[in-house]
Amino acid sequence: MVGGGAARRAAVAALAAAMLAGVASAAVYEVGDKMGWTILGSPNYTAWATSHTFHLGDTVVFTYNKQFHNVMAVSKASYKSCDTSKPMATWTTGNDSVVLKTTGHHYFLCGIPGHCAGGQKVDIRVVSSAASSPAPTPEPSRGGATSAPAPHPNAAPEALTGRSVAATVAASLLSLAAAVLV
Ligand SMILES: [Cu+2]
């Protein structure tokens, strides 16, 4: 009986560790950081995208005023030419989370006339894994997370950073594992 209990505890601990590892690897990124998804101020979404390393399972959040913008997933050709006529998917809520489920490039643009041409477009490349990814630039620390939480001009307040979500889930998993092991 003692052996069975030990095995069960080991299994629970292993499961908890595996879950923690899975949670820790999934991040949430707000497109454009504090600027959100906009055309005002000519945000450089190319620079934003290349300053991050996106992995499978990560989420990108588009935050914007839905009266003025939307989000379309488009092909590479449509991305390059700002063709808004045949999106593969369209989001319009103003606070849209998109889970990156495939590797390679994910092309998004705003479908409002003129906005894509004005720079409201982003090419998000998802690398296959952390080990094999050629990361030209190290992932920067989330500078915005440490400074004062300035109110977002057009954001929903519930937009969370991946770090805080992972920390919250990790904490609850740890307490769960602790409860089972006791
Ligand atoms: Cu727009």
Separation of CA 78 and ligand 1 centre (Å): 16
- Find residue 108's DSSP bridge partners: 73, 122
> Which CATH architecture group holds 28-160?
Sandwich (2.60)
Q: How far is ligand 1, taken at its centre, from the CA of residue 136, in Å?
A: 30
Distance, CA of 6 to chain centre? 39
Pick the more confident residue, 69 or 133: 69
Q: How far is the CA of 154 from the centre of ligand 1 (A)?
A: 12
Tell me how crowded residue 134 is: count the other CB atoms within 10 A of its CB: 6
Reported pTM: 0.61
**Residue-averaged pLDDT of the chain:** 76
Share of the chain above pLDDT 70, in %: 57
User: Measured in angstroms, how far is the CA atom of residue 26 from the centroid of ligand 1?
Assistant: 27
- List the chain domain ranges: 28-160
How many angstroms is it from 11 CA to the middle of ligand 1?
50
- Confidence at residue 129, expressed as pLDDT on a 0 to 100 scale: 66
Phi-psi region of 42 (alpha: psi -120 to 50; beta: other; left: phi over 0): left
> In whole angstroms, how large is the CA radius of gyration of the chain?
20
pLDDT of residue 8: 60
List residues, by chain if needed, whose CB lies under 5 Å from ion ligand 1: 69, 110, 112, 115, 120
